[in-house]
C-alpha cells in the first residue's frame, strides 16, 4: 500500500506556558499543504520488519525512525505482523513542516487499514500523541486550531482556498531544543482565534510566531527570507513552526524573476485549498 504523507504550515504560534512534565503548552493553527513524502508499506514475506529510506536524509539510526516507532506501538498493542516500510523523503527535516510526524501518523493509518484492525480514531490519536506533539493533526486532512502540546485539536472555519503559497526552505536544520532556547512563555494579548478572524491584510501586524525572535537573531538569513517575501508582495509571511522554513501567502503567483532570490534554497509553490 502506498500513501503520501503531507506537510503543514503554522498560522501563528504562541508558547503560553511551560508544564510540569517539561513540555510547553502552545496555541497555533495547522494548515495542510501539498508538499508530501511517499510511504509504501507491505507485509514482510520473510517475517522480518525492515525500514528503507530514499530521497532526503533523516538524521539518526533507522530503528529510531518514527515510522518504525509507529509500527512498534501497533505491533505491541494490536499484534501487527512484520512489514517492509519504504519512505521516500521529500519534506525537509528540521524545517517546521511536521514531516516526521506526518510519516508517523500515516504509518498508523496505513497499518490499521492494511491489516483491517478497525482501531478507532480516538485510539489512533492516543498513539499519535505518543509519537509527536503535532502527530495527531495528520490523522485528519483538515485545518485545525491546536492547543496543549499541539495534540488538542479543534475545528475552525478558516479557508485559504485560492491563495498562492511560496515556501522557502534554507539549508538550515533547527532542532526543537534549539528553537525553545531563549523562549519566554506568555499568553498573547490577543487570542489567536480572534486574530485569525481578522482580514488577511491585517495578519502581518498581529499574527506572530514566538520562535521567530530567537531564530532570527541566530540566523539572520532566515529573517531576510521573510523580508524578501513581503518585498515580493506577500499579504502575509511567517516562519512555520520552529523553522527554518518561511512561507509567503500571495493573492497571485509571484514573478519568476523575483523567485531567483531563492535559487539556492528549496522552493515549493502551490495554490492553497
Find all residues with CB under 8 Å of 239, minimum gap 6, and list them: 96, 209, 211, 212, 215, 216, 222, 226, 245, 246
Record: fold of 2-154: Ribosomal Protein S5; domain 2 (3.30.230)
Cα-only R_g, the chain = 19
Find all residues with CB under 8 Å of 108, minimum gap 6, and list them: 70, 73, 74, 124, 127, 128, 131, 139
Select which of 8, 89, 109, 226 is catalytic.
8
pLDDT at 214: 92
Closest CA to 272 of 143, 165, 199, 196: 165
Q: State yes or no: pLDDT of 116 exceeds 90.
A: yes
pLDDT band at 63 (very low <50, low <70, confident <90, very high): confident
- 158 vs 21, more confident: 158
Domain locations along the chain: 2-154, 164-271
pLDDT at 94: 86
The yes/no answer on whether domain 164-271 falls in CATH 3.30.70.890 is yes
pLDDT at 203: 98
pLDDT band at 33 (very low <50, low <70, confident <90, very high): very high
pLDDT band at 59 (very low <50, low <70, confident <90, very high): confident
pLDDT band at 197 (very low <50, low <70, confident <90, very high): very high
pLDDT band at 62 (very low <50, low <70, confident <90, very high): confident
Let me know if 8 is a catalytic residue: yes
pLDDT at 21: 86
Closest CA to 173 of 257, 67, 95, 252: 95
Select which of 37, 89, 103, 134 is catalytic.
134
**To the nearest whole percent, how much of the chain has pLDDT over 70?**
100
Q: What is the mean pLDDT of the chain?
A: 95
pLDDT at 16: 95
Q: State yes or no: pLDDT of 20 exceeds 90.
A: no
pLDDT at 44: 98
pLDDT at 104: 98
Mean pLDDT score, 237-243: 95
Let me know if 256 is a catalytic residue: no
Mean pLDDT score, 21-30: 92
Cell numbers for 153, please give them.
485539536
The residue whose grid cell reads 500500500 is 1
Of 47-61, 83-97, 112-126, 177-191, where does mean pLDDT reach its minimum? 177-191
**Number of Cβ atoms within 10 Å of the Cβ of 85:** 24
Amino acid at each position: 500500500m502506498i500513501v503520501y504523507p503531507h506537510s503543514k504550515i503554522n498560522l501563528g504560534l504562541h508558547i503560553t506556558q511551560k508544564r510540569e512534565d517539561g513540555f510547553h503548552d502552545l496555541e497555533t493553527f495547522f494548515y495542510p499543504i501539498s508538499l508530501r513524502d511517499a510511504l509504501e508499506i507491505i507485509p514482510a514475506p520473510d517475517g522480518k520488519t525492515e525500514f528503507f529510506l530514499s530521497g532526503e536524509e533523516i538524521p539518526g539510526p533507522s530503528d529510531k525512525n518514527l515510522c518504525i516507532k509507529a509500527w512498534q506501538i501497533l505491533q505491541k498493542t494490536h499484534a501487527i505482523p512484520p512489514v517492509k516500510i519504504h519512505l521516500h523523503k521529500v519534506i525537509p527535516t528540521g524545517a517546521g513542516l511536521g514531516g516526521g510526524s506526518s510519516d508517523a501518523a500515516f504509518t498508523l493509518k496505513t497499518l490499521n487499514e492494511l491489516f483491517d484492525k478497525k482501531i478507532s480514531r480516538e485510539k489512533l490519536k492516543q498513539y499519535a500523541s505518543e509519537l509527536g506533539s503535532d502527530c495527531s493533526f495528520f490523522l485528519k486532512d483538515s485545518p485545525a486550531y491546536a492547543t496543549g502540546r499541539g495534540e488538542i485539536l479543534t475545528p475552525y472555519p478558516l479557508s485559504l482556498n485560492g491563495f498562492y503559497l511560496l515556501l522557502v526552505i534554507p539549508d538550515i536544520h533547527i532542532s526543537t531544543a534549539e528553537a525553545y532556547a531563549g523562549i519566554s512563555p506568555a499568553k498573547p494579548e490577543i487570542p489567536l482565534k480572534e486574530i485569525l478572524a481578522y482580514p488577511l491584510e491585517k495578519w502581518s501586524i498581529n499574527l506572530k510566531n514566538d520562535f521567530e525572535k530567537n531564530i532570527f537573531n541566530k540566523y539572520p538569513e532566515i529573517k531576510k527570507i521573510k523580508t524578501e517575501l513581503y518585498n515580493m508582495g506577500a499579504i502575509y509571511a511567517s516562519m512555520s513552526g520552529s523553522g527554518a522554513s518561511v512561507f509567503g501567502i500571495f493573492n497571485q503567483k509571484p514573478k519568476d524573476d523575483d523567485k531567483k532570490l531563492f535559487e539556492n534554497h528549496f522552493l515549493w509553490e502551490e495554490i492553497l485549498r
